[in-house]
Structure 1
């Protein structure tokens, strides 16, 4: 029995294409002492996948010939550790593969939920990122205006809904009139600005007549530059990602830095979701409450088939997803 695996055929110097990936088949991995064999069920598709191909970040850079690393939900198929049993469902650092092995202590056993994919979206990396970044760094107060870019994306959609649940006015930034309409009508944002239209700074000023107190940035570049122009004094800028900068060999930064931060006395802070793992239990209680009350709508974008993972990532970078994008590699456990 063989194991399919998608590796990096060549590191991109500019925009990512299918030719940068290659499907391979390897021998079925066998778990060693203290290890488990995992069947990959769902792969997380994130802009961070692309940033790892540009160099070291908070993790080592991905090199040509490497299997693409990813966060995944998996089922334990064989175990050489008392920590985990066959049939357990776990979260793990995996690769774009059908099967992987790893030390059992590196896999986190997951609770049973009615919809397994929710552990990847609202109760997983997307929901946790939105909650921890907004609550711990943005610190919104009821009545304030929260601005969020990539508002139709996996994290931005939850940021806006959480801010609404907290009593804030919420303005999104998204690509295209259809997405902007969806963000307002389906997710309940108060306004949404189309960054693909001209005059974004003017449009943001109109959408935020009283300025913005919190800006949750998933994009960087010109969008960040325009958002800084509408920030109020003592505003908080939450730096979660910079998707506009990952898929190009000519990245650009905001031209109004550091001036806007100094003049407006802004606080600007970056983070990754693991920074706040100690607060995960509190985060999950809040998310479960908002989902149960209808204040958060769960939107998932599931692409079928391991072979479609490269196209799923390329599409994500182009902004063609709504909600959390993931790839289904195998069926949920029965």
Structure 2
């Protein structure tokens, strides 16, 4: 049976009604494609033929592929949501995934960079060139605001308010939020806009208002930012793997380590649910040691 019409209907629902991001839609697309391929291999002719027994068989095939428990849970969650949509549209009469219970996966503690290591990285950047001024501005924005790399590359000149020291960020589901930035980011952005950005624009560049540009004067991509950070880390001779999302983790961790309110950090990160922010409630070893030494009566003589 051709499952294509169900596929298209659900993807339209995600895009139009749920206002899901491009990455989210692509993830659901892959999950549906894998499930439909499985149904075809089992010679199933209709979604109405999918029952609990079939779902258990599908689950077995996922385990046979040596997928992580986290990946399997995500796929099952995608398909459970897909069937909820089918029920709403009367394209199916039951959700075979509703009785499938998977063990909860432990959320790994996010990796972060210590403040001393961030200082080394910042100080290693050569700011005498146009690209150097751009690079320090990118790093200051990512670490100083905690924005996702996808949000960073979407920033425009108009979204930056240097007087109020805030940026208007468009997050997941096109939700907008204002995020403040500090003096370091402010100085880096002013220097980049005043002395660097115009130098990166070439005659072949397409007119646009995007904040961060590549060496050819075109909008910088998320992949481009990752390559830039990899190069900066290599030049700084830091024996760490630092990526944009690790800077986001570091932003949240350092705020909480220094006494920031969890709800405030939730707002800054653009999390819809507090549970997404609670993974950052761990503390660094230095912070833990400091609290013990200052608080416990037997920590010092």
Q: Which TM-score applies when normalising by structure 1?
A: 0.29
More strand by percentage = 1
**Could you say which structure has the larger radius of gyration?**
2
Q: Which TM-score applies when normalising by structure 2?
A: 0.31
More helix by percentage = 2
